[in-house]
Amino acid sequence: MHADDRLPRYQRLRDEMVALVAARHWRPGEAIPTEQALAKSYDVAVGTVRKAVDLLVAEGLLERFQGRGTFVRRASFDSSLFRFFRFQTRQGERRIPESRILRREVVEAPSAVAATLQIPNGAKVIQMSRLRLIDGVPMLAEEIWLPFDRFAAFAQLELTEIGDLLYPVYEAQCNQVIASATETLTVEAIGPLHARLLRIEPGTPAVVIERLAYGYDRQPLEWRRSRGPASEFIYQAEIR
Amino acid sequence: MHADDRLPRYQRLRDEMVALVAARHWRPGEAIPTEQALAKSYDVAVGTVRKAVDLLVAEGLLERFQGRGTFVRRASFDSSLFRFFRFQTRQGERRIPESRILRREVVEAPSAVAATLQIPNGAKVIQMSRLRLIDGVPMLAEEIWLPFDRFAAFAQLELTEIGDLLYPVYEAQCNQVIASATETLTVEAIGPLHARLLRIEPGTPAVVIERLAYGYDRQPLEWRRSRGPASEFIYQAEIR
DNA sequence: TAGTGGTCTAGACCACATA
DNA sequence: ATGTGGTCTAGACCACTAT
């Protein structure tokens, strides 16, 4: 099962390190072996290890701390587009919104969902509808789909057992770890259904964020579509 | 005027190379000296030069081509948010929209504009209003502000002398080179004025992109605010 | 064939964190 | 005091581009 000898050593080393994290042999929060140790065990120079680690730090999989060591980074989703919703509390601090699951059921995947999650047509999915609030004010209306075969345990949980964040639950209950995601931002005039949930006027501009989240093996694990009032959204980017 | 000795050599080297580009001593499209030559002239090891160049490649200022050399990159604005407007032609290819300048005048800077461009209150600015079209269909309505003292030559140009792209004109006529920018995306229900320009219904969601563009010396050179129909906009991002 | 950037090595010394 | 990552060197060899 192995990597192309024509690839540079630092690339192959990088790939092996990714595999160790994916296999949960190196776990988030833990320190990996020192550069010296890695150099010795993989029989390469320290400089080569450094270059491989450089890559993974740039990719966000590892974090370095001078004098302490190199650590597997927790996927934090700090760069998610959700960050650009100005959902501050009245004191202006950033908080995790409260979550209310409005509905959860197991259904046959609509064909668009099956295609997106890369599962067979007609396979079962968990469909969920969720409202996120700050200080009791609705901020985001979400629809979430999970492939049933990987998340069967999730369908059995009492709703009261599910906290404000889903990914830790996926990890603890279903052994499914989210490693990365792609997000897509579009804008629409909000429909009457979501308008009622969000307590805004139908036709008001809303930002729609679709997120497809992947495991370390690059398999799609979760699809969600979230809607929030566009008036609360501001995105900034650097251009070169 | 010199750099801190406590900074690593590769950082100081990086800064000196940026300065050479800013001073137009190294010009876009040109090759810079070889790594060997740089190492000799700055009296550092080649590896140190490589690290400095690595940084500038990552920042997008330089481009490397194995066997050919390292070149100063033209600021291409490939990553601009405008890229996410699906302004395709009927054949689906990407094109530079046609530009029509609707108005251009020299005025005293409104205080918000003066603050943004970091010029004194009441200083003169060139204010411009522009429409961008594809196949004759209006796609973006833009308002643009330029500090008059740097762009005086621009105010004299016949409108027919100004092409579809402004930055090459800034460079050729005013010797002002845009090096980077920050962009901000918000959404609003379009007002009657812009609705008429864009030939859409007032109240339709519109994407508003504000861009503040800087020279190599980090001075703000241009501020523009562009509005386009949100229905044509889709933004995608990778999350880790 | 000559010259460029790309990979890799082996080792020295520095700065920082922790005990 | 020890061990970690951070910086820097000097040189070898490879892969690609141009002539």
Q: What is chain A written as a DSSP string?
A: ----TTS-HHHHHHHHHHHHHHTTSS-TTPBPPPHHHHHHHHTS-HHHHHHHHHHHHHHTSEEEETTTEEEEPPP--TT-GGGGB--B-TT--B-PPEEEEEEEEEEEPPHHHHHHHT--TT-EEEEEEEEEEETTEEEEEEEEEEEHHHHHHHHHS-GGG--S-SHHHHHHHH-----EEEEEEEEEEPPHHHHHHHTS-TT-EEEEEEEEEE-TT--EEEEEEEEEEGGGB-EEEEE-
CA atoms within 13 A on the CB side of A50: 5
Element (H, E) at B124: strand B124-134
CA distance A83 to A140: 12
- How many other CB atoms are found less than 10 A from the CB of residue A75? 19
- Contact partners, residue A176, CB within 8 Å, separation at least 6: A150, A151, A170, A215, A221
In this complex, the residue with its CA at the shortest distance from the C1' of nucleotide D2 is A67
Instruction: Choose between B21 and A88: higher pLDDT.
Output: B21
Instruction: Check: CB of residue B223 under 8 Å from CB of residue B144.
Output: yes
Of B180, B237, B238, the CB nearest to A239: B180
Give me the CA A16–C1' D2 separation in Å, rounded.
30
Instruction: Check: CB of residue A109 under 8 Å from CB of residue A93.
Output: no
b/e burial code for range B43-76 (CB count within 10 A of at least 16 → b): ebeeebbbbbbebbeeebbbbbeeeeebbbbebe
What percent of chain A is modeled with pLDDT above 90? 67
**CB-strand contact B92/C, under 7 Å:** no
Q: Which two tokens stand for residue A145?
A: 């789909």
Predicted confidence (pLDDT) at residue B189 exceeds the cutoff of 90: yes
Tell me the chain B residues in contact with residue A51 when contact means C-beta distances shorter than 8 Å. Answer: none
**B33 burial via Cβ count (<10 Å: 0-12, 13-18, 19+):** middle
Predicted confidence (pLDDT) at residue A240 exceeds the cutoff of 90: no
CA distance A46 to chain B (A): 14
In this complex, the residue with its CA at the shortest distance from the C1' of nucleotide C9 is A45
Q: What is the distance of C-alpha A149 from the center of its chain? A: 19
Tell me the residues of B at the A interface, defined by beta carbons under 8 Å apart. Answer: 58-61, 75, 77, 79-81, 179-189, 203-205, 207, 211, 230-231, 233-240
CA distance A22 to A215: 8
How much is the pTM?
Answer: 0.85
Check residue B57 and report its DSSP letter: H
Instruction: Choose between A233 and B237: higher pLDDT.
Output: A233
Confidence at residue B49, expressed as pLDDT on a 0 to 100 scale: 94
**CB-strand contact B90/D, under 7 Å:** no
Q: How confident is the model at residue B1 (pLDDT cuts 50, 70, 90)?
A: very low
Confidence at residue A2, expressed as pLDDT on a 0 to 100 scale: 45
Q: How confident is the model at residue B90 (pLDDT cuts 50, 70, 90)?
A: low
Torsion from C-alpha of B34, B7, A50, B73, nearest 10 degrees: -40
- pLDDT digit string, tens, across residues A34-69: 999 999 999 999 999 999 999 999 888 899 999 999
Instruction: Check: CB of residue B180 under 8 Å from CB of residue A238.
Output: yes
Of B182, B203, B239, the CB nearest to A180: B239
Amino acid found at A130? R
Element (H, E) at B20: helix B9-22
**Interval B43-72 mean pLDDT:** 91
**Interval A122-146 mean pLDDT:** 95
Instruction: Choose between A93 and A232: higher pLDDT.
Output: A232
- pLDDT digit string, tens, across residues A63-108: 999 999 999 988 777 667 777 777 766 566 677 889 999 999 999 9
What percent of chain B is modeled with pLDDT above 90? 67
Tell me the chain A residues in contact with residue B236 when contact means C-beta distances shorter than 8 Å. Answer: 182-185
